[in-house]
Amino acid sequence: MPRFELIATTTFGLESVVTRELERLGYADTRTLDGKVHFAGDERDIARCNMWLRSADRLLIKVGEFHAPDFGALFDKTVDLPWSDLLPVDATFPVAGRSVQSRLHAVPAVQGCVKKAIVESLKKKYNRFRFDETGAEFAVEVSLLRDVATLTIDTSGDGLHKRGYREFAGPAPLRETMAAGLLQLSYWNRDRQFIDPFCGSGTLPIEAALIGRNIAPGSGRSFIAEDWPWIDRKMWKDVRTEAKDLRQPRMSEPILGFDHDPAAIRLSEKSAAEAGVGGDIQFRIQEISELKSSREYGVVVCNPPYGERMGAPEEVEAVYRELGRVCDSLPTWSFYVITSNTWFEKHFGRRAPRRRKLYNGRLECQFYQYMGPAPPRERSAADSGATGEAAAPNTADEV
């Protein structure tokens, strides 16, 4: 099978999470640059990574990269790339573009130039003058950054955050890929109680249940590359079957999702059922002030109102104060909070020992991390040198 240079794109701040996901899938040789994790793979890897990557936005094939200070260079070097190895004679190949700090900044002209160059390249190989573009779609992107053009083909189609379980979302939902990233930045694992006290449409509890039961995030959707004639359909079928076989049984502890809005709870229940994890999560209408637990070493990961898209400033401050009080009452628990509110720590009542800058959509946020003690079982595993959550934090680029 031919090898490709593959790129898992991700949002700023989650690159190390995607790298770790790829390592767990068996891809040790990765290279990270500007929200992109590069690695090598074949057709089966395209199917596996689309199926299993939880925090990546898309999976692309890199067709080529070169210096393109003018249209002549862009055209000639695009013609020289091996397009006919990837695009069948009937391929539909729309070209999208973007340009940052580059001399070629008129994006429609850049797209037109690349489209013409691909046609020219295919004409030579297929000995034809016209291409009707009636077949499978190969979405090409030309991305110019400081005069370097990178040409890619998307293998995912809809972004990977579209898992297929959510028809409607609440007013300020977290992307599924971001939710999975936050969970993987925390020390939560399936043996620890998990609570999201501001669950909204349920994204964090649902993603936690998918992780806890090892359910592939892509198992409920299709991918654009499934229509490509040179990837055997049986390969996709095998990857889906393998994903089904790898599912774990129910967790001993149900995941808990609370919100004071009854409409949010109804939405969460519907999406969880759609995702196949309805039986793994208990959703309940509940105010943050009512949050308590008799369990120890639990984990809260949450996305409270920020005061930007929802909540008046005084209400939001009161919510953070209340969350701080809950945190004081659960000394063995770990708390992880994402918010764009720069006064969060003041109202919560303590500085976070660790935080990480992340973007929720276009909004610059901090992910505040208050780690409680590790549970005794994990602590002894860490002492004995085993690599579990307790022994292997993902802290490389945090402050």
Interface positions, 169-188, toward ligand SAM (CB under 6 A): 169-170, 172-174
Interface positions, 198-237, toward ligand SAM (CB under 6 A): 198-201, 203-204
Backbone angles phi, psi at 398, to 5 degrees: -105, 165
d(CA 395, CA 399): 9
| Smallest separation (angstroms) from ligand SAM to the CB of 366 | 15
Residue nearest to ligand SAM (CB): 200
Beta strands in 191-294 (DSSP E): 194-196, 255-259, 281-285
Backbone angles phi, psi at 303, to 5 degrees: -130, 75
CB 57 within 8 A of CB 138: no
Q: Token pair for residue 196?
A: 């999201």
Q: Which of 78, 177, 303, 334 binds ligand SAM (CB under 6 A)?
A: 303
Residue 154 or 259 having the CB closest to ligand SAM: 259
Residue 169 or 371 having the CB closest to ligand SAM: 169
Q: Token pair for residue 42?
A: 């074949």
What is the DSSP secondary structure assignment for residue 385, as one 8-state letter? T
Which one of the spans 53-61, 134-142, 184-192, 259-267 is the region binding ligand SAM (CB under 6 A)? Answer: 259-267
Residues in contact with ligand SAM, shown as a per-residue x/- string from 279 to 298 under the rule CB under 6 A: --------xx----------
Q: Helix 15-24 to helix 176-185 angle, to the nearest 10 degrees?
A: 80
Check residue 261 for interaction with ligand SAM (CB under 6 A).
Answer: yes
d(CA 367, CA 226): 36
| Smallest separation (angstroms) from ligand SAM to the CB of 337 | 11
Residue 141 or 259 having the CB closest to ligand SAM: 259
Please work out the total of residues on this chain that contact ligand SAM, with binding judged by CB under 6 A: 22
Check residue 257 for interaction with ligand SAM (CB under 6 A).
Answer: no
The C-alpha angle with vertex 85 and arms to 79 and 36, in degrees rounded to 5, equals 80
Write out the H or E segment, with its range, that includes residue 95.
strand 95-100
Which one of the spans 75-83, 159-167, 255-263, 371-379 is the region binding ligand SAM (CB under 6 A)? Answer: 255-263
**Chain residues that interact with ligand SAM, rule: CB under 6 A:** 169-170, 172-174, 198-201, 203-204, 259-261, 264, 287-288, 303-305, 310, 319
